[in-house]
Structure 1
Amino acid sequence: MENQIEVREDLIFINLDCNSRDELIKYMSDQMINAGKVKDTYCNAVLERELIYPTGLNTGEIKVAIPHTDPVHVNSAGISVATLKNRVEFKNMEDPNQNIDVDLVFMLAVADPKAQVPLLVKLMGVFSDKDLLSRIKKSKTSNEIKQILEELIKE
């Protein structure tokens, strides 16, 4: 299936240590560029989009962000996930004047906008499932997170 999101262990980071949203987005973008998932323009496009359409979500105890940008910056569909050593501040998607300290980041590379909607619906399901978020947050290896996400995506 062309729009299937590929989950790769080399794009999953455990206990990532970043001091700011921009540093985090740059690091994760660089890894996706190195993996050939996205174009060199991806990082700046994500950073610019964050200023207009923030992606922090107040999902209860474990908060998440889903930075992404337009398909024009993407080579092939993918997702990069990071559990954070220290929370990183993102702006709230629902209220851009509010800051949210996030624990988990799901960076999306969406190649086909029509495929983005079902993926976001699945991810929203994850975000509303406290146990699942907790499992991802507590994962000790990228393989654990990969398995959790693959289960979800194929459902």
Structure 2
Amino acid sequence: MNYKENFKKELTNLSLAVGSQEHFFRVVSNDLKEKDYVEQSFEEAIIEREKIYPTGLQLDNFTIAIPHTDVIHIKKPFVAIYRLTTEINFYQMGTDDVVVPVKDVLVLGINEPKKQVGLLSSLMQCFSKNEFIKQYKNTATADSIVELIKNNL
């Protein structure tokens, strides 16, 4: 399945300054609403889903969060890429008590449930490769980070 068209430069911000997870979701949701990618209900839905199903991932030498929500809150498919100026806390996927400090967040907006699992596993494969992580960390522009991910999916 091809997910590459879901990665968009206009939804990439490599220096987002937010102070908390809630602040992050508010800023991101407003941006996605303005650009007409999500429904009005998206912000509340993604915050609630994150509480029940945390999306922080502590990998070998990298931490990332991949929050997403149900398809009814998505107008058109996307993957938004954020690199934060300071870490914010997410809980480790599958736990409710292991905190993962995260600077990189990919917000998935998938409008077909079957595709969400495939995209998630493709992304996790990318981020499990040390060479990919090294390139990802050293990429400083929206164009090049979108390109890097597309070339590795």
The TM-score, its normalising length taken from structure 1, stands at 0.91
1:127 equivalent in structure 2: 127
Residues 77 and 17 of structure 1: is their aligned pair in 2 closer, same or farther, counting only changes over 3 Å? same
Unmatched runs of 5 consecutive residues or more in structure 2: none
CA distance in 2, matches of 1:46, 1:129: 28
RMSD, aligned α-carbons: 1.8
| Aligned amino acid, residue 30 of structure 1 | N
Q: Is the 8 A contact 2:3 2:119 kept in 1?
A: no
2:56 equivalent in structure 1: 56
| Aligned amino acid, residue 22 of structure 2 | D
Unmatched runs of 5 consecutive residues or more in structure 1: none
* Corresponding pairs, count: 153
CA distance in 2, matches of 1:3, 1:148: 13
Q: The residue matched to 1:121 in structure 2 has which SS?
A: helix
| Aligned amino acid, residue 50 of structure 1 | E
| Aligned amino acid, residue 53 of structure 1 | Y
Q: How does 1:92-131 map to 2 (within 5 A)?
A: 92-131=92-131
Kindly state the Cα deviation for residue 3 of structure 1 after the two structures are TM-superposed.
Answer: 6.8
Q: The residue matched to 1:147 in structure 2 has which SS?
A: helix
User: Aligned residues: percent identity?
Assistant: 27
Q: Is the 8 A contact 1:55 1:93 kept in 2?
A: yes
Residues 71 and 27 of structure 1: is their aligned pair in 2 closer, same or farther, counting only changes over 3 Å? same
Q: Is the 8 A contact 1:53 1:93 kept in 2?
A: yes
CA distance in 1, matches of 2:56, 2:30: 20
Structure 1 residues 129-138 or 57-66, which shifts more? Answer: 129-138
Structure 1 position 35 matched with structure 2 position 52? no
CA distance in 2, matches of 1:149, 1:29: 22
Q: Deviation per CA, 1:69-120, whole angstroms, max 9, x where unpaired?
A: 0000001110101111111111111321111101210000010001112111
| Aligned amino acid, residue 60 of structure 1 | D
Q: Deviation per CA, 1:116-139, whole angstroms, max 9, x where unpaired?
A: 121111111022112212322222
